[in-house]
């Protein structure tokens, strides 16, 4: 890295070097200090639905547009079941369902034996598959360190080091809690997610047949899938929102809160059912009250067939609109003056 630093200092021209890796660069030993101020960091997620379909999807900017109008791309798309179970790793989406487990097993082994070992001096790295399975069993739930540490039979201090490492190598992706200055009534714990729903399905030993036998797993896997789609698209959107979750101490919640650079807030709730009731909107109402004038709109993604405006700035949107992806429509996107972004 010293040689790269010297070369960049001699010629300050963007794009001289492209460095790739499978861990968060700022947490790599010595690397962040060596190249600080001399690099731009891009996080490459597994493929989004738009990338798989060969189109530019931009659902995030539709969510933040002044006038929301869900317009799906007309064309082929994966079924919701296959999208959730396969995930977005390039090597996995090209394989048959029977061959996917072998790839995931090898990938987890390689990450544990190479990246994690290089980043730490922890012993017992063979416990990583077990810990990932414990996290997969808790998708979408609040992270309870005591519960996970007990299930993993390890001290909390060790667990937290493991979780930090899993986050560094892009396997564990906790979503922090959203809050305002009035935080006393809000839960502050992060929610548990993995970086790919296909990986989560593998860790849960779920295939289409078993998922029909265990329908209670559909909701958490679907929520993890939506989280990854939002995270992927946020990296190239104009809005560049941060992603949080919202939960009151009374239990009212919204799965995802997107907050852009201007402080505007969009709530996104995920429902595995094909119908909705007034109760499904209670958490969105709590979020709207907490956010005040910063609340732009609330959206529930559900498994129905109809776009339903259900109140001021509230929409029920079929999940298939996410699966078929949105194309960028310049006239439907906020101008920089209306919705400042970071780039």
Report if residue 228 sits inside a domain. Answer: yes
In this structure, the answer to whether residues 78 and 17 fall within a common structural domain is: no
| Within-domain flag for 24 | yes
Among the residue ranges 196-210, 240-254, 323-337, the one predicted with the least confidence is 323-337
Residue 7 sits in the same domain as residue 156: no
Q: Tell me the Ramachandran region of residue 341: left when phi exceeds 0, alpha when psi lies from -120 to 50, beta otherwise.
A: beta
Helix (H, G, I), strand (E, B) or coil at 64: coil
Confidence at residue 324, expressed as pLDDT on a 0 to 100 scale: 61
21 and 150 share a domain? no
Q: Are residues 118 and 80 in the same domain?
A: yes
Quick one: 223 and 120 in the same domain? yes
Statement to judge: residues 22 and 164 lie in one domain: no
- Which of 8-12, 14-18, 271-275 tops mean pLDDT? 271-275
Check whether residue 82 and residue 20 sit in a common domain: no
On whether both 158 and 11 belong to a single domain, the answer is: no
The tens digit of pLDDT for each residue in 128-139 reads: 899 999 999 999
Q: Is residue 159 part of a domain?
A: yes
Question: How confident is the model over 185-194, as a mean pLDDT?
Answer: 91
| Overall average pLDDT of the 19-27 stretch | 63
**24 shares a domain with 63:** no
Structure tokens at 175: 């979503």
Which of 232, 209, 114, 105 is closest to 165 using CA atoms? 114
pLDDT for 25-79, tens place per residue? 555 555 555 676 777 777 889 999 888 888 777 888 889 998 887 665 555 567 7
323, part of any domain: yes
Global confidence as pTM: 0.87
Q: Do 322 and 229 meet the contact criterion of CB atoms below 8 Å apart?
A: yes
User: Looking at residue 184, what is its pLDDT?
Assistant: 61
Q: What was the pLDDT predicted at 24?
A: 63
Residues 153 and 222 in one domain: yes
Please count the other Cβ atoms lying within 10 Å of the Cβ belonging to residue 318: 20
Distance between CA 302 and CA 316 in Å, rounded?
7
**Any domain includes 233:** yes
Quote the CA–CA distance of 218 and 295 in Å, as a whole number.
29
Across 3-12, 43-52, 250-259, 263-272, least confident range: 3-12
Query: Which pLDDT value is given to residue 341?
Result: 33
State the Cα torsion 12-17-22-27 to the nearest 10°. Answer: -20
Q: Order of strands across the sheet with 314-318?
A: 242-247, 253-259, 265-270, 295-302, 314-318, 308-311
Q: Name the residue range of residue 135's domain.
A: 49-332
pLDDT of 261 above 60 = yes
Q: Could you give the number of structural domains in the chain?
A: 2
Are residues 302 and 213 both part of a single domain? yes
- Predicted confidence at residue 38, as pLDDT, reads 77
In a domain, 327, yes or no: yes
Please indicate whether residue 196 or residue 17 has the higher confidence score (pLDDT).
Answer: 196
Give residue 34's pLDDT.
Answer: 65
Residue 343 domain flag = no
Question: From CA 297, how far away is CA 334, in angstroms rounded?
Answer: 14
Give long-range contacts, CB 8 A cutoff, 24+ apart: 4-9.
Answer: 4/34, 4/35, 5/34, 5/35, 5/38, 8/35, 8/38, 9/38
Residue 95 belongs to a domain: yes
Alpha-carbon distance of 59 to 50, in angstroms, equals: 10
Predicted local distance difference test score (pLDDT) of residue 311: 82
152 and 255 fall within a common domain: yes
- Mean of per-residue pLDDT scores for the chain: 84
Mean pLDDT of 163-178: 93
Picking from 270, 276, 268, the residue whose alpha carbon sits closest to that of residue 68 is 268
Of 332, 342, 338, 327, the C-alpha closest to 58 is: 327
């Amino acid at each position: 890295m010293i040689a790269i630093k010297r070369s960049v200092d001699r010629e300050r021209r963007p794009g001289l070097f492209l460095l790739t890796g499978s861990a968060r660069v700022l947490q790599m030993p010595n690397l962040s200090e060596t190249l600080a101020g001399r690099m731009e960091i891009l996080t490459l997620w597994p493929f989004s639905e738009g990338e798989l379909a060969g189109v530019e999807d931009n659902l995030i900017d539709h969510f933040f547009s002044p006038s929301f109008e869900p317009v799906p791309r007309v064309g082929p798309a994966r079924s919701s079941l296959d999208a959730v179970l396969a995930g977005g790793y390039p090597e996995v989406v090209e394989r048959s369902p029977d061959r996917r487990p072998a790839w995931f097993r090898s990938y987890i082994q390689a990450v544990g034996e190479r990246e994690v070992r290089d980043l730490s001096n922890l012993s017992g790295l063979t416990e990583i598959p077990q810990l990932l399975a414990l996290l997969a069993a808790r998708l979408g739930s609040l992270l309870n360190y005591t519960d996970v540490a007990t299930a993993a039979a390890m001290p909390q201090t060790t667990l937290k080091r493991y979780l930090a490492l899993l986050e560094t190598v892009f396997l564990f992706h906790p979503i922090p809690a959203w809050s305002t200055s009035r935080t006393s009534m809000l839960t502050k714990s992060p929610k548990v997610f993995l970086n790919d729903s296909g990986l989560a399905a593998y860790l849960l030993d779920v295939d289409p047949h078993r998922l029909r036998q265990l329908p209670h797993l559909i909701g958490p896997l679907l929520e993890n899938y939506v989280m990854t789609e939002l995270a992927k698209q946020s990296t190239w959107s104009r809005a560049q929102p941060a992603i949080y979750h919202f939960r009151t101490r009374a239990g009212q919640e919204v799965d995802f809160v997107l907050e852009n650079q201007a402080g505007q807030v969009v709530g996104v709730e995920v429902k595995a059912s094909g119908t909705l009731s007034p109760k499904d909107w209670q958490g969105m109402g709590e979020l709207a009250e907490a956010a005040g004038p910063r609340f732009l709109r609330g959206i529930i993604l559900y498994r129905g067939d109809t776009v339903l405006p259900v109140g001021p700035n509230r929409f029920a949107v079929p999940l298939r609109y996410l699966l078929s992806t949105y194309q960028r429509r310049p006239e439907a996107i906020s101008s920089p003056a209306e919705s400042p972004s970071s780039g």
